[in-house]
A and B are shown apart, each in its own frame.
Chain A
């Protein structure tokens, strides 16, 4: 079955790096995503990684995937107050057209000035 878990809360100081962690259980996951949700807003796709990759970097964001441990992380370099939000890890499985996402419960990132 599909299950995605995340820690609930992370607090960092402005300018530090943030690392948000996620574990998933389904070994057949094809895509793994990171979404950002600000208060009262919808979900914004930050980045995604294919399950055959180990790392993906996009400006301040670095995604690391450890398939053996089924562990995904999102590192935000030089964290800013505007990065304060809830971050969701999600997986999808390419299975006969069903590509719905299974989300974790979200990690609330608080950035202190």
Chain B
């Protein structure tokens, strides 16, 4: 079974630029999560989708972050404009509808200069 795929693996941008990350969850997984992991900390939830609907985006900085999962499969996370404090690893995870077990992708490491 293929795992959660993410791209790109690394991205370096300057502050005020825009960036987008892509996630392809495990086939058949209805729930998709985006987490932000700042160096030295545990991951923190940004947004949770179930199919193509948003379940929880209470911790998403909506003035600069947006995410979509249009067809209930792939998802993109965008930051516009980026700030220095957005430097982090962005992790995507997916889980089946019934089980709560989450499977994580390798993450995208973002550096904002």
Q: What is the interface of chain A, defined by CB distance below 8 A to chain B?
A: 4, 30-31, 35, 41-45, 48, 88, 90, 92, 94, 97-106
**B88 CB, nearest partner CB in chain A, Å:** 13
* In the complex, residue of chain B having the shortest beta-carbon distance to the beta carbon of A44: B104
Neighbouring A residues of B43 by C-beta, 8 Å: 43, 88, 101, 103
Interface residue? B87 (CB, 8 A): no
Contact A100 B33 (CB under 8 A): yes
Contact B45 A42 (CB under 8 A): no
Contact A43 B45 (CB under 8 A): no
Tally of contacts, chain A with chain B, CB under 8 A? 55
Contact A92 B100 (CB under 8 A): yes
Number of interface residues of B (CB under 8 A): 25
* In the complex, residue of chain A having the shortest beta-carbon distance to the beta carbon of B103: A45
Neighbouring B residues of A103 by C-beta, 8 Å: 42-44
Contact A48 B101 (CB under 8 A): yes
Neighbouring A residues of B42 by C-beta, 8 Å: 4, 88, 90, 103-106
Neighbouring A residues of B55 by C-beta, 8 Å: 97-98
Closest 10 CB pairs of A and B: A103-B42, A42-B104, A43-B104, A100-B45, A42-B106, A99-B100, A98-B56, A105-B42, A100-B48, A103-B43
Neighbouring A residues of B56 by C-beta, 8 Å: 98, 100
